[in-house]
Amino acid sequence: MQTRLAFILAAMLSITMLQGQNKMTPIQQTIAANLAKGELAWTHLGQQGFLLKFGKTIITIDAYLTPSKGRNIPPLLQPEDFEAIQFVLGTHNHSDHIDKPTWKKIAALHSHVKFVIPADVLDEVAASTGIPKERFIGLDDGQSATLGELKVTGIAAAHEYLDRNPITGQFPYLGYVVEGNGIRIFHAGDTCIYEGFAQKLRQFRPYDLMMLPINGRDARRLKGNCIGNMTFQEAADLAGALQPALAIPAHFDMFNGNTENPQNFIDYYQVKYPELGTTIPQPGNFTIYKQQQPPRAATPREKIENDSYDWYERHKEKCLEAKQKNHDIVMMGDSITHFWENRHGPQTWKQLFQNRDVLNLGFGWDRTCNLIYRLENGEFENQTPKLFVLHIGTNNLSATENYPDGDPPEQTAQGILAVIDRVLQRSPKTKIILMAVFPRGLNSEPYREKINTLNKILKKATRQRPEIRLVDIGPKMMKDGELNTSLYMDNCHLNEKGYQVWAEALDQIFISEGL
C-alpha cells in the first residue's frame, strides 16, 4: 500500500492494513469489522467495485461479480456472501457497474437487500432482472436517500458525455456521495470532468475518501464503443481541488484494452499535491481507514476570551440579523473586521458600504474555532451571499491563559479552510474572498514569521480552488521591509488609513462582481 501521510488541510489520515486476522478472508474481515465512529472498512473488488462498511451498515458500489470471459480480476464476492450486506449500489446501466446476472441471484437469495440506481434506468433494470420495483431506490442528481444509518446523494456523471433523458430530465449516469458513521466518501462511478462538476462536490467537503476512475479515453476506445472516463491527470487534479484525506484511483485493471497504470496517478498526485494522501487499491485487501479528529482550530467552540463587548449578546443579534434578510456580502473575522464599522474605521466603512448590502460577522478576539461555532449556530442562516470576505487567523497564533500555546500556522490554516467549507456547504455558489492574514508586529516579534508561514500555506492550499480568491494586501502595509505603523493603531489593529488600503482592494473586487 502506498500512502503519503502528511498534514491534511481538511482531515488527517490514518490507515491500518489488517490481513489474516483469525484466518478470515478479507471479505469476511470487512463484513465483521467492529468500527468506532470515524472508521470505515473497505475492500476493493476490482474495476470500480468496492465493499464498504460504515458503522453497522454494509454496502457494495459497482461490484462486478459475474465470472465473464476476459476479466483480469476474479470475482471476490459471491451472491451467497450478501447475507450481511444491506444495500447494493450501481452507478449506471453498464454490466460492470449494474451486474444484472449477479443482482438477480442476490435478490433471489436475500430478500432484505435493496438496490440503489439512477432513477432514469430503474424501469429497465427492474424489467430485465425481474426484481420487483419496490426493492429499488432511484436517485437523480442532487437527490438523497437514507440507507440505514447512511445518507446517499446522487451526483450527475458525464460518461463520456453529460447525457440526460430528454423527457424526464433525469441523468442515466451518477456518482454517489455516501455519508455515515462520521465518514464521507465520493464514489465517482464512470465520469469525465464537466462544467460545474467540482462545484457540485464542494458543498459536501471535507471528504475522507474519493474513488475516481482513471482509465481515460481515446479515439480507439470510443470507436469500439468503450466509453471513456477521466484521465489520471484529470482525476488527480479533481482530488487536488477537493482535498480528500485519501484519493483512490480505480477503473484501471479489469479488462485488457481499457487499462491504465495507477502508478501514473500516484506519481503525478504526489508531485503536485504532496501534502495529500493516496494509495493504489489492491483487489481483495482489507483496509480500515481511521479518521483523526481535527485540531482545535477546526473544532467549533464558543467564546474563549473576554473583550469590550458581550460576545453572546452580539451572537444573538447577528443570528437575528441573518435570519431577517439575505445579504449580498458577508464579512467575517475577528476584531479587525468587527470594529471597522464603528470604533476604528467608520468613515472608510461608510464610504465602501454605503450603497452595498453587507452583514458584518466580525467578533473581537475570535479564532477560527469560534467562527465555525457561529456558522453552525445561526449566524449564516438564510444566507446565500454573492461574496464572503474572510479575514481570520491572527488570534489563533496568540497564546493566552484560555488558549495555551496558540495554534501553529499549519493548524490555523486547517481552521481557516474549515470555516470556508462550512460556508460552501450552506451556500455552494458563494465566492470566497480570503484575505491573507495582515502583517502585525515588528520584525523582532514572532508573529511576523508565523503569519508569513501561514500565508504561504494558504496560497498553496487554495491554488486549485477557483471558488476561493486569495487576496494579499500585506505588501501594501509594509514600508522598506518594516511594518508601516502609520496604518495601525497598535501594530495589530488598523486605523482609518489602514482600512483605506483594505477598502481600495475590496472596492475593486466588488465592482468586478457587479456589487
Q: What is the pLDDT of residue 260?
A: 86
Cis peptide before 206 (omega within 30 of 0): yes
Q: In what order do the strands lie in the sheet with 114-118?
A: 12-17, 286-292, 39-46, 49-54, 57-61, 87-89, 114-118, 136-139
pTM, full prediction: 0.80
Q: Which whole-number Å values give the CA distances from 256 to 104, 190, 215, 285, 448, in the listed order?
A: 27, 17, 11, 22, 56
How far, in Å, CA of 243 to CA of 247, rounded? 8
Q: Is the dihedral of CA 337, 343, 348, 353 positive or negative?
A: positive
pLDDT, the chain, mean: 92
Task: Answer whether 387's CB lies under 8 Å from 396's CB.
Answer: no
How far, in Å, CA of 303 to CA of 370, rounded? 7
Per-residue pLDDT tens over the stretch 395-417:
999 999 999 999 999 999 999 99
The C-alpha angle with vertex 183 and arms to 268 and 238, in degrees rounded to 5, equals 25
CATH class of segment(s) 12-292: alpha beta
Sequence-separated (6 or more) residues with CB below 8 Å from residue 462: 434, 468, 470
Indicate the angle between helix axes 262-272 and 232-242, nearest 10 degrees.
40
The SS3 call for residue 192 is strand
Amino acid making up residue 38: G
Fill in the DSSP letter of residue 6: -
Selected residue with higher pLDDT from 204 and 7: 204
Cis peptide before 401 (omega within 30 of 0): no
Q: Is the dihedral of CA 450, 451, 455, 458 positive or negative?
A: positive
The SS3 call for residue 33 is coil
How far, in Å, CA of 211 to CA of 185, rounded? 8
Per-residue pLDDT tens over the stretch 303-339:
999 999 999 999 999 999 999 999 999 999 999 999 9
The SS3 call for residue 51 is strand
Task: Answer whether 457's CB lies under 8 Å from 299's CB.
Answer: no
Task: Answer whether 228's CB lies under 8 Å from 243's CB.
Answer: no
Give the DSSP H or E segment for 268.
Answer: helix 262-272
Task: Answer whether 177's CB lies under 8 Å from 202's CB.
Answer: no
Distance linking the first and last C-alpha atoms of the chain? 50
CATH class of segment(s) 308-512: alpha beta
Q: What is the pLDDT of residue 177?
A: 99
Fill in the DSSP letter of residue 29: H
Task: Answer whether 258's CB lies under 8 Å from 227's CB.
Answer: no
Per-residue pLDDT tens over the stretch 36-80:
999 999 999 999 999 999 999 999 999 999 999 889 999 999 999
Cis peptide before 160 (omega within 30 of 0): yes
Burial environment of residue 482 by CB neighbours within 10 A (0 to 12, 13 to 18, 19 or more): exposed
Per-residue pLDDT tens over the stretch 75-112:
999 999 999 999 999 999 999 999 999 999 999 999 99
Using alpha carbons, select from 22, 99, 24 the residue that is nearest to residue 60: 99
How far, in Å, CA of 314 to CA of 66, rounded? 62
Using alpha carbons, select from 156, 161, 155, 162 the residue that is nearest to residue 185: 155
Domain-by-domain residue ranges, the chain? 12-292, 308-512
How far, in Å, CA of 75 to CA of 86, rounded? 19
Task: Answer whether 420's CB lies under 8 Å from 434's CB.
Answer: yes
How far, in Å, CA of 291 to CA of 234, rounded? 26
Q: What torsion, rounded to 10 degrees, do the Cα atoms 228, 231, 235, 237 define?
A: -140
- Residue 168 pLDDT > 70: yes
Q: What is the pLDDT of residue 6?
A: 37
How far, in Å, CA of 291 to CA of 244, rounded? 11
Amino acid making up residue 107: A
Sequence-separated (6 or more) residues with CB below 8 Å from residue 124: 93
User: Cell 440506481 maps to which residue?
Assistant: 117
Per-residue pLDDT tens over the stretch 430-484:
999 999 999 998 877 788 899 999 999 999 999 888 899 999 999 999 999 899 9
Q: What is the pLDDT of residue 220?
A: 74
Q: Write the secondary structure of 285-352 as one string of H (helix), E (strand) and C (coil).
A: CEEEEEEECCCHHHCCCCCCCCCCCCHHHHHHHHHHHHHHCCCCEEEEECHHHHCHHHHHCHHHHHHH
Task: Identify the band that residue 158 occupies on the pLDDT scale cut at 50, 70 and 90.
Answer: very high
Task: Identify the band that residue 22 occupies on the pLDDT scale cut at 50, 70 and 90.
Answer: low
How far, in Å, CA of 475 to CA of 306, rounded? 31
Selected residue with higher pLDDT from 131 and 228: 131
Task: Identify the band that residue 14 occupies on the pLDDT scale cut at 50, 70 and 90.
Answer: very low
